[in-house]
């Protein structure tokens, strides 16, 4: 009996969750590994992949808006709670595939999954002991030291809220110049360099807050690795796979080599 691994892709809107879901799914196919993609966003439009399991088969954002007279924000909150109600059916659909990896593309709004109890409930329904979060650090915000600090804080908050192993990735790395990417990765590897970069920015309340946040999360940086990922040439996907195997050392490595 296969012991599938569940990868929840989480990040702010536009951070590249759907693209990474598709990229990882394509990478597994190249390497002869079974995987499926589960869309957990009831309001998703124009996905870059065709979901194997789709929450929209049970819940539609548009239908919730029309039937309850809600605006987009209110309907998103209602949908988040309705997802939890339908998770037994979603779980049965996933289990029918008997796959190696289940890639879950979470809602575009981070707060709908991380900060509502329905997100925790969904994970508890879908084998939490075999689950890991892939947090995507937004490529736009990561370009400045203070923006990078806020992304680190969001990542730490997500890990604190959900309470399962987490892998941190710098999304859409192909968009950066070589110099930008090298600088961000240096910040990630060396909190002292990041602290220096923050202190060199213009003196504002935002900078002062970033300095305080950095002191708070410095220990997190020492115990967390961040690597770049991109759809181009499967950049970083080997690292994602390796990190998942490392977290679940008791599981079987499905690659032949």
Quick one: pLDDT at residue 130?
92
The answer to whether residues 80 and 118 touch, using CB atoms and an 8 Å cutoff, is yes
Residue 62 lies in a domain: yes
Instruction: Please state at what angle helix 191-199 crosses helix 205-222, rounded to 10 degrees.
Output: 180
Task: Output the domain CATH number for residue 168.
Answer: 3.40.50.300
Contact 103, 240 (CB under 8 A): no
Instruction: Please report whether residue 127 resides in a domain.
Output: yes
In a domain, residue 203? The reply is: no
Please give the model's pTM, rounded to 2 decimal places: 0.90
Indicate whether 67 belongs to any domain: yes
Low-confidence ranges of the chain (pLDDT < 70): 1-2, 220-223, 250-257
Q: Strand 53-54 to strand 226-228: parallel, antiparallel, or no bridges (unpaired)?
A: unpaired
pLDDT at 231: 93
User: What are all long-range contacts of 201-204, with beta carbons under 8 Å and residues at least 24 apart?
Assistant: 201/144, 201/145, 201/146
Q: Does 11 map to a domain? A: yes
Domain total of the chain = 1
Q: Is residue 213 part of a domain?
A: no
DSSP 39-50: E--TT--S-SS-
Do the domain assignments include residue 187? no
Contact (Cβ atoms closer than 8 angstroms) between residue 142 and residue 151 = yes
What count of other Cβ atoms lies within 10 Å of the Cβ of residue 98? Answer: 11
Question: Which domain range does residue 24 map to?
Answer: 5-138+163-174+224-247
214 domain-assigned: no
Place of tokens 């110049």: 177
- Angstrom CA distances, 16 to 23, 32, 158, 159, stand at 10, 24, 17, 19
């Amino acid at each position: 009996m296969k012991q599938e691994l569940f990868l929840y892709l989480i990040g702010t809107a536009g951070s590249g969750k759907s693209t990474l879901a598709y990229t990882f799914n394509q990478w597994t196919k190249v390497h002869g590994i079974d995987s499926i993609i589960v869309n957990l966003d009831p309001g998703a439009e124009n996905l870059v992949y065709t979901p194997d399991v789709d929450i929209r088969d049970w819940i539609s954002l548009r239908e919730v808006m029309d039937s309850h007279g809600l605006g987009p924000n209110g309907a998103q909150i209602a949908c988040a709670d309705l997802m939890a109600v339908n998770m037994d059916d979603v779980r049965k659909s996933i289990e029918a595939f008997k796959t190696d990896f289940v890639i879950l593309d979470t809602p575009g709004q981070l707060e709908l999954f991380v900060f509502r109890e329905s997100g925790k409930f969904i994970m508890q329904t879908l084998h939490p002991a075999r689950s890991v979060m892939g947090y995507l650090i937004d490529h736009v915000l990561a370009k400045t030291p203070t923006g990078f600090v806020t992304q680190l804080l969001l990542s730490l908050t997500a890990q604190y809220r959900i309470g399962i192993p987490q892998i941190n990735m710098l999304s859409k790395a192909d968009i950066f110049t070589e110099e930008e990417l090298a600088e961000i990765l240096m910040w990630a590897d060396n909190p002292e360099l990041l602290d220096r970069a923050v202190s060199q920015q213009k003196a504002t309340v935002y900078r002062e807050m970033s300095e305080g946040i950095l002191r708070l999360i410095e220990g997190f940086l020492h115990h967390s690795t961040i690597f770049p990922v991109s759809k181009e040439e499967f950049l970083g996907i080997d690292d994602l796979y390796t990190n998942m195997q490392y977290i679940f050392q008791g599981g079987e490595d499905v690659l032949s080599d």
